[in-house]
Structure 1
Amino acid sequence: MKPYQFCLSCNKELEGRSDKKFCDAYCKSAFHYNKSRDDTGSFYLKVDRQLKLNRKILKKFNKAGKATVISQVLLSQGFNPNFFSHYWKNSSGDVYLFVYEYGFLSRLENGKEKYILVTWQPYMEKSLLL
């Protein structure tokens, strides 16, 4: 009796060896990719995935080095302001949160929550050392 009668990925009937689990290399790869993607056990992977998504979104909306965007626009695309890599405090006391080289500052302007987006500048590093 065969332990696996159908492909674990596409459910196609298997032919050949009795211990075969997948019909081809594509199905084997797709099965393991989906399994690892659905694995919710790794906190590191969740954080890394969110940081990458945040960076991608900030980069998309900050083409010129500085921009202002309504917060809901970023949030609707999956941006999560609780995930950032470091911060920088300017001379006015405003704290910009950064996702690698792209930073954001939350502001309330005219009753609407907005994010001021900036790009990391060399002068910012000097203030980190103080």
Structure 2
Amino acid sequence: MKACPNCGKEVNGREGKKFCSPYCKSNYHYEKNKKKESSLFKKVDKQLKLNRRILKNYNRAGKATVESGELFKYGFDPKYFTHFWRNSKKQTYLFCYEYGFFSFKDEKGKRKFTLVKWQDYMQ
């Protein structure tokens, strides 16, 4: 007799049966897939949460300006955002949940980000 790969109990039934119950079969495959870090959803979700954490850390007052290198060294990636908002000057702020950023170059040509927190008037 074979042992169930999920719980180790003896498997009874037809020849070729691998699991002792539908629960063990489901749980085995769930745990196996949960360990895979390569799914696109998990990668995007992880990056969005990292971006949010970085923006929150640098924007404690509600509005701030930061050099891009300061954010990039902690893994910030501006290609990942949840939504956007365009102000009256037609500037587009990209948001990671409630924390947003706007990319620009200063007078010396250095890339910087203006960081903001979502406000009610941005509806």
**TM-score under structure 1 length normalisation:** 0.67
* Equivalent pairs, count: 94
RMSD: 2.1
Note the alpha carbon deviations across 1:48-88, whole angstroms, 9 max, x for none. Answer: 00000000000000000000000011011000000000000
Percent identity between the two aligned chains: 54
Asked if 1:54 is matched to 2:47, the reply is no
CA–CA separation in structure 2 for the residues paired with 1:41 and 1:93: 37
CA–CA separation in structure 2 for the residues paired with 1:46 and 1:122: 30
Note the alpha carbon deviations across 1:21-64, whole angstroms, 9 max, x for none. Answer: xxxxxxxxxxx7xx81xx24310000000000000000000000
The equivalent of 1:83 in structure 2 is 80
The equivalent of 1:122 in structure 2 is 120
Instruction: Compute the displacement of 1:90 (Å).
Output: 0.2
The equivalent of 2:98 in structure 1 is 101
Instruction: Compute the displacement of 1:111 (Å).
Output: 1.3
Structure 1 runs of 4+ aligned residues shifted over 2 Å read none
The equivalent of 1:66 in structure 2 is 63
1:72 match: secondary structure: helix
